[in-house]
Structure 1
Amino acid sequence: MVLTVPAVVRGELVDGPLLEFGGRGAKPFAAPDPAAVVPRLAARDLDLARALNALDLDEVLDYLAELGQRLDPDSNPHLAEAVAESEGLADVPPQLVRSNYRLLAALFTRAATEEVVAAVGRDHLTGWPARRTADGRVGAVHAFGVRSVHVIAGNSPLIAAMTLVRTAITRGEAVVKTPSNDPLTMVALARTMAEVAPDHPLTRALSVAYWKGGDTGVERRLYHPGAFDKIVAWGGMASVRHVVGYLAPGLELVTFDPKQSATILGPEAFHPDAVDDVARRLALDVGAFNQVGCVNARVVYAACGTGPAGVAAAEDLARRVHAHLALLPPEVSTPAPLDPELRAKLRAVRTSGFHTVVGGTGDEGAVVVSQLDEPVDFAVSLAGRVANVVPVDSAADAARHLDAATQTVGVYPASLRRELREVLPLVGVQRTVELGCAVSVHQALPQDGFEPVRRMVRWATDEHLPEGADPLDVVFPPHRQGVTA
Structure 2
Amino acid sequence: MSEYGVSWLPRWLGPGTLERTAVRGGYVGWRPGAGEWRAVGEGLRAAHESLRALPVAEIVGAFDETCSRWADRDFVHRARARRDIVAATGFSPEAVDRSLDVELANYRSGTLYRVLRRELGDPGVLEGFRDDVELGGRTLAVGPRVTMVVCSGNVPGLPALSLVRALLVKSAVLLKVAGGEPTFTAHFLRSLAEVNPVLADAVVVTYWPGDDRDALRDAMEQADAVIAYGGDEACAAVRAYLKPHQRYVEHGHKVSVGVLTRAYVRRVGLGEVARRVAVDVSTFNQHACIAPQAYLVEGGGPSPGIDDPGPEDVAEAIAAAMAAYAADCPLGSLPAAEAAGLQMRRAGLAWTAANSPGGAFRRSPGLDWTVTVVPDLLSLPGAGNRTVGVVPVGGVKDVPRALRPIAARLQNVGLGALGDEFGALASEIARLGACRISEPGEMARPSVVWRHDGMPCLSLLVRWCDIEMHREARPDMSTTFDRRTV
TM-score (norm 1): 0.84
Quickly say closer, same or farther: Cα 1:13–1:196, change in 2 above 3 A: farther
Deviation at 1:130, TM superposition (A): 4.1
Separation in 2, partners of 1:280, 1:326: 10
Quote the RMSD (CA, aligned, Å): 3.1
Partner in structure 1 of residue 325 of structure 2? 328
Partner in structure 2 of residue 69 of structure 1? 68
Partner in structure 2 of residue 343 of structure 1? 346
Quickly say closer, same or farther: Cα 1:275–1:171, change in 2 above 3 A: same
Partner in structure 1 of residue 226 of structure 2? 231
Larger Rg: 1
Query: Do the aligned partners of 2:373 and 2:389 also contact (CA within 8 Å) in 1?
Result: yes
Query: Do the aligned partners of 1:11 and 1:206 also contact (CA within 8 Å) in 2?
Result: no
Separation in 1, partners of 2:47, 2:2: 35
Give the alignment of 1:53-68 within 5 angstroms. 53-68=52-67
Quickly say closer, same or farther: Cα 1:130–1:183, change in 2 above 3 A: same
Q: Does 1:295 align with 2:290?
A: yes
Provide the identity percentage.
23
User: What stretches of structure 2 of length at least 5 have no aligned partner?
Assistant: 473-486
Deviation at 1:326, TM superposition (A): 1.0
Partner in structure 2 of residue 32 of structure 1? 30
Separation in 2, partners of 1:40, 1:75: 38
Q: Does 1:8 align with 2:35?
A: no
Letter in 2 for 1:340: Q
Separation in 1, partners of 2:109, 2:309: 50
Deviations 1:146-202 (A, max 9, x none): 12100123433332222232222211111111011111111111122223333x2x2
Q: 1:366 aligns with which of 366, 370, 379?
A: 370
Letter in 1 for 2:200: T
Instruction: Give the match's secondary structure for 2:430.
Output: helix
Quickly say closer, same or farther: Cα 1:453–1:192, change in 2 above 3 A: same
Q: 2:217 aligns with which of 217, 220, 240?
A: 220
Separation in 2, partners of 1:11, 1:377: 52
Separation in 2, partners of 1:125, 1:41: 25
Deviation at 1:3, TM superposition (A): 9.4
Separation in 2, partners of 1:314, 1:246: 48
Letter in 1 for 2:377: P
Give the alignment of 1:58-207 within 5 angstroms. 58-72=57-71, 74-90=73-89, 92-103=91-102, 106-119=105-118, 120-121=120-121, 122-131=123-132, 138-146=136-144, 147-198=146-197, 200=198, 202-207=199-204
Separation in 1, partners of 2:265, 2:256: 21
Moved more, 111-120 or 27-36: 27-36
Deviation at 1:245, TM superposition (A): 0.7
Query: Do the aligned partners of 1:304 and 1:391 also contact (CA within 8 Å) in 2?
Result: yes
Quickly say closer, same or farther: Cα 1:336–1:348, change in 2 above 3 A: farther
Letter in 2 for 1:5: G
Q: 1:435 aligns with which of 421, 424, 440?
A: 440
Query: Do the aligned partners of 2:150 and 2:229 also contact (CA within 8 Å) in 1?
Result: yes
Name the one with the larger helix percent: 2
Moved more, 3-12 or 442-451: 3-12
Letter in 2 for 1:334: L
Quickly say closer, same or farther: Cα 1:315–1:274, change in 2 above 3 A: same
Partner in structure 2 of residue 390 of structure 1? 391
Partner in structure 2 of residue 448 of structure 1? 453
User: What stretches of structure 1 of length at least 5 have no aligned partner?
Assistant: 468-485
Separation in 2, partners of 1:6, 1:271: 49
Query: Do the aligned partners of 1:265 and 1:302 also contact (CA within 8 Å) in 2?
Result: yes
Partner in structure 1 of residue 313 of structure 2? 316
Number of positions where the alignment pairs a residue of Structure 1 with one of Structure 2: 454
Instruction: Give the match's secondary structure for 1:43.
Output: helix
Instruction: Give the match's secondary structure for 1:261.
Output: strand
Q: Does 1:411 align with 2:408?
A: no
Deviations 1:58-101 (A, max 9, x none): 22222222322332564443332222122342262233223333
Deviation at 1:139, TM superposition (A): 4.5
Deviation at 1:39, TM superposition (A): 3.9
- Structure with the greater relative contact order (CA < 8 A, sep ≥ 6): 1 or 2? 2
Query: Do the aligned partners of 1:90 and 1:154 also contact (CA within 8 Å) in 2?
Result: no
Query: Do the aligned partners of 2:363 and 2:370 also contact (CA within 8 Å) in 1?
Result: yes
Letter in 2 for 1:32: W
Quickly say closer, same or farther: Cα 1:386–1:214, change in 2 above 3 A: same
Letter in 2 for 1:7: S
TM-score (norm 2): 0.84
Letter in 2 for 1:236: G
Query: Do the aligned partners of 1:89 and 1:181 also contact (CA within 8 Å) in 2?
Result: yes
Instruction: Give the match's secondary structure for 1:9.
Output: coil
Instruction: Give the match's secondary structure for 1:87.
Output: helix
Deviation at 1:369, TM superposition (A): 1.0
Deviations 1:102-147 (A, max 9, x none): 44553333222222221222242233234477xxx85532111212
Deviation at 1:431, TM superposition (A): 0.9
Separation in 2, partners of 1:278, 1:320: 9
